[in-house]
Amino acid sequence: MSLKKIIIIFIILFFYLNSAFTQETKDNNNEAEGKPFTGLKIKGFPFHVYYDALHDDINHFYPSGWRGDWSDIKFNGTYQKNPKEGKYCIQIKYTANQNQKFGWASVSWQNPAHNWGGIKGGYDLRGAKKFYFYARGEEGNEYAEFKIGGISGLFSDSIPMLSTGNVVLTKEWKLYEIDLLDVDLSYISGGLTVVFTKSYNPDGCTIYIDEAYYTDKIKIMVNNQVRLPIIKKNSIMKVAIMDFENTSNSKDLNYLSKVISESISTSLGKNNDLIVMDSKGVKNNLKKLALTFENFKTLNEDTVLGKILGVDIVVRGSFIEVDNQILINIKLIEVASGTILTADQIKGQPGKDLFLLLDKTSNYILSQLLRFNRAMN
C-alpha cells in the first residue's frame, strides 16, 4: 500500500473518530442540560455501598474520591477483626497530620470510580426509604460525619448532600441511618462520603464501617436488636389516644390531661390516612369490659390495650411543670410488637402560649405517624 493511501485512510479515520467523540460529548451535554435525567436501573433493594470486601458484584460504589488532607487517610477495605457481618469490614485511620494543610479529610464512594460529576454513572434509587450503615470507633468518642449524594458537575446527583452531622462513635457497633423519604433519588453517583476534621479529632482516630446500603424497608431497634415493623402495608393506620398523665405536684394542672389528648385527637382526626379513637372512645370501649385506664400503665399493658381496642398505635404521654414551663413527654407505641416507635419531649409556656404548645404537640405526633405510615406504604 502506497504512502499516499495510508495518509488518506488515516485522515478519514481521524475525522470519523473525532466526529463520533464530538457527537457523544454533544449528546451527553444535551442530556445533562435537559435535566431531569435518571440513573441506571437497579434490580432491587437492598442496594449496597459496602457488603463485604470480596463482593464486587454487590458493592456498587468505589471508595475512590479522596479530598482535603487525603494523605492523612489510611484505608483498609478488608479488615478482618470484629466485623459486624461477614468476614470483613472497612477500617479507616485518620492521622490528623494536615499533610495538605486543610484540617479535614474525606473519602467518597462513587460510581464509576473517581467520578465527580463528569461522567454519567449514577443509579436510580427511587423507592429507597433509608440509608443504613453500621459504624464503631477504635476507642470510643471518635467523631465522623457521614453523607450521601451531593456530587455536582455535568451529571450532578439529584439531591444535595444529606448528612448525619458529626456522629460520636462508640466502641460497639451501632446502626445509623439517613432518612430518604420525600427526596429525589433518581440519580445518585455519590453513594457515601465520610468526613474527618482535626478540630474534632485533634489526635486522629480510627473508625470501622460495615453493612452500608440503601433499602426500601425501615428498621426499628428493640433491645439493641434490629427488626422490621409489623404494621401491614396499604392499611389505614388506627390510633388510640390516651389521656396524658399529670406527673407534677400541682393539681391545678389536672385539666391539661384531657385538654392535651383532645387537642391531639382533633388534629389527627382531620387526616384521612388515620382512624383515630379519642380518650373518650377508649374509655367507653374499656367500660364495656369493666376496665379503666388504671389497668394499663406499663408498655406491655399498652400492647394488650391496643389489641383489645383493635388499633395499630397507642399514643401515651405525661406532662410536668418545671421552671414555669410545661414539659410534655410523648410515646408512640406499636401494638403488634410492643415497640416504642418514637419518644420525645415538647416544651413551652403555659397560660397564653398554651395553644401554641398544644399545636406543637399535635403537629409533632401527626408528622411522626404520617412519616411512619409513608415508610410502610
One-letter identity of residue 351 = G
- Is the pLDDT reported for residue 212 higher than 60? yes
Among 81-95, 126-140, 192-206, 331-345, name the one with the lowest average pLDDT: 331-345
**Residue 90's pLDDT is what?**
97
Q: Measure the CA–CA gap between 319 and 306, rounded to whole angstroms.
A: 22
Cell numbers for 105, please give them.
479529610
- Is the pLDDT reported for residue 376 higher than 70? no
The CATH number of 47-217, from 2.60.120.260, 1.10.3720.10, 3.80.10.10, 3.90.226.10, is: 2.60.120.260
- Is the pLDDT reported for residue 129 higher than 60? yes
**Residue 8's pLDDT is what?**
55
Domain ranges, ordered by start, for the chain: 47-217, 237-376
Confidence grade of residue 297 (pLDDT, cut at 50, 70, 90): low
The pLDDT tens digits of the residues spanning 26-79 come to 444 445 455 567 899 999 999 999 998 877 789 999 999 999 999 999 999 999
What percent of the chain is modeled with pLDDT above 70? 82
Q: Measure the CA–CA gap between 220 and 130, rounded to whole angstroms.
A: 12
Cell 477495605 found at: 77
**Residue 235's pLDDT is what?**
65
Q: Which CATH superfamily is domain 237-376 in?
A: ABC-type transport auxiliary lipoprotein component (3.40.50.10610)
Q: Which residues contact 313 (CB under 8 A, 6 or more apart)?
A: 237, 238, 239, 240, 306, 332, 333, 334, 335, 341, 369
Q: State the sign of the Cα–Cα–Cα–Cα dihedral 284, 290, 295, 300.
A: negative
Confidence grade of residue 13 (pLDDT, cut at 50, 70, 90): low
**Residue 35's pLDDT is what?**
53
DSSP 93: E
Confidence grade of residue 222 (pLDDT, cut at 50, 70, 90): very low
- pTM value > 0.75: no
More confident residue, 292 or 23: 292
Q: Measure the CA–CA gap between 92 and 82, rounded to whole angstroms.
A: 14
DSSP 351: G
- Is the pLDDT reported for residue 180 higher than 70? yes
Cis peptide before 63 (omega within 30 of 0): no
The pLDDT tens digits of the residues spanning 112-127 come to 999 999 999 999 999 9
Q: Which residues contact 17 (CB under 8 A, 6 or more apart)?
A: none
Q: Measure the CA–CA gap between 213 and 46, rounded to whole angstroms.
A: 6
Average of per-residue pLDDT across 3-29? 49
**Residue 338's pLDDT is what?**
79
**Residue 25's pLDDT is what?**
43
Same fold, 47-217 and 237-376: no
